[in-house]
Homo-oligomer: A and B are copies of this chain.
Amino acid sequence: MTDAPKRQMKLGVFANPTGNHVASWRHPDAQADAGVNFAHYAEIAQSAERAKFDMIFLSDNICVREAKMEALSRSAQYVANFEPLTLLSALSVVTSRIGLVATASTSYNEPYHVARKFASLDHLSQGRAGWNLVTSALGAEAPNFGRETHFDHRERYLRAHEFATIVTGLWDSWDDDAFVRDKESGRFFTPDALHTLNHKGEFFSVKGPLNVARTPQGWPVIVQAGGSEDMMAVAAEFAEVIFCAPLTFEAARTFYDKIKGHAASRSRSADTMKILPGLAPIVGRTDAEAAEKVRHLESLTHPVVALEILSTILGGIDFSGYDIDAPFPDDLPATTNASQYVYASAQELARSENLTLREVALRMAGARGKNVVTGTPKQIADMMEEWFEGGAADGFNILPSHFPGGLNDFVEMVVPELQRRGLFRTEYEGTTLRENLGLARPGNRYVEQLTPIAV
């Protein structure tokens, strides 16, 4: 009799071209041309695969980010990069086990195209595709798609829900065994294994069927990010992996309980949904070495860029009337609820270390609103274990500060520590992303209704 296998973490790597830190492209080791450098991405994906990561993740915007030109022209992020699905398709050839997850917006795409491209990627990668189902966050996308203004918040989420219903319906267009390809009889597919969706909804009308066979995973894994109430309702129904960005253990555990509760209310068991908080580790062999890495990245950050990022994560504050070298102001105008939370963190940071606006901006811009944890491999593994065992996480989406160094540090120092503790795999459990995540392969909604007919 053997023990039940120990529950282990799931790990993703967020492949922001040059890294999560806003100045990462200026790091001496960085591939500054990462956004058009396939060899760079191949190296990241292969490193993460050697370390047995579950997946590599690409975020996306369908526009050049809007910002003041002085800041934008000093930034590498969300300016000009490979398109995610073409990039992941190419990466499928130079990897064999790691999952390939891309963002595709439900606001400015057609469900048929999205269903088709992710299905194609799932076939190309033999079962390693994942779709990060989002609504467009940036209003700057709207005018690239014939609209003067962005859809309002509520409409975005209603569209997202209907969109996901259609995409998953299209993925069931063919039974798994539809294509008999019998050279002898001349029958290529079984007629009653083809299903036409005939969707007519509030936002979309999509007939189907999809012109891609059902995929190795049945459905590509569905991922979601963002924690609004509306999005939680979509997540409770569809999401199998959730990315989130809590900054404290308490916030993470509250989110974890809430979203697993939502899932339970849809009769889904808790382990059908993996919650991966973002974690931006800065690893040193000693505390001092880790702190020096932070200081180095801050020294590369232009104040104009830092202020722009701080403005963005505070909900669009205009800092032009403030003295950058005066103490951090405590009279900023109120913006959104989420920003108020970030503002409180900034004030707390400024107060505890007596910081100026410039210093707060450099510190917070580097993190870009993410949970930066600086320390030794043991300290970082301790924090991860605490969250994982304490009901706050099923794993983490790792945001290396810069590539390749920030990823290599984590792979070489933290992953072995997690493995020693039995918290992370030393070999892949399966060949598909679903198998490695421990997620069931969805059945086909039409199969129960099938009655064999003579053909």
Contacts and interface: CB of A to CB of B under 8 A. Distances in A.
Contact of A89 (B90, B109, B205): B90
Interface residues of A, number: 76
A33 interface: yes
A89 B86 CA distance: 5
A143 interface: yes
A176 to B, nearest CB: 12
A81 B188 contact: no
A80 B173 CA distance: 10
Interface stretch (A117-125, A275-283, A371-379, A391-399): A117-125
Interface stretch (A67-75, A241-249, A312-320): A67-75
A36 to B, nearest CB: 5
Contacts of A116: 62, 83
A354 B92 CA distance: 53
A179 B80 contact: yes
A170 to B, nearest CB: 9
Nearest to A23: B186
A322 to B, nearest CB: 22
B112 A110 contact: no
A34 to B, nearest CB: 10
A214 to B, nearest CB: 9
Copies in the complex: 2
Contacts of A205: 143, 146-147
B87 A36 contact: no
Contact of A188 (B73, B119, B147): B73
Interface string A111-145: 01100110111011000000000000000000111
A76 interface: yes
Given A32-B181, A63-B211, A186 B83 contact: no
Interface of A: 23, 25-26, 28, 30, 32-33, 35-36, 38, 61-64, 69, 72-76, 78-83, 85-87, 89-90, 92-94, 108-110, 112-113, 116-117, 119-121, 123-124, 143-147, 174, 179, 181, 183, 186-191, 194, 204-213, 300, 302, 305, 455
23 contacts: A25-B188, A30-B183, A32-B183, A36-B123, A36-B212, A38-B123, A38-B124, A62-B116, A64-B194, A69-B191, A73-B190, A74-B186, A76-B181, A80-B189, A83-B117, A83-B119, A85-B86, A85-B117, A87-B120, A110-B145, A146-B204, A146-B206, A186-B305
List the 9 closest pairs (A to B, CB-CB), nearest first. Answer: A143-B207, A89-B89, A83-B120, A32-B181, A86-B89, A93-B93, A86-B120, A112-B144, A36-B123
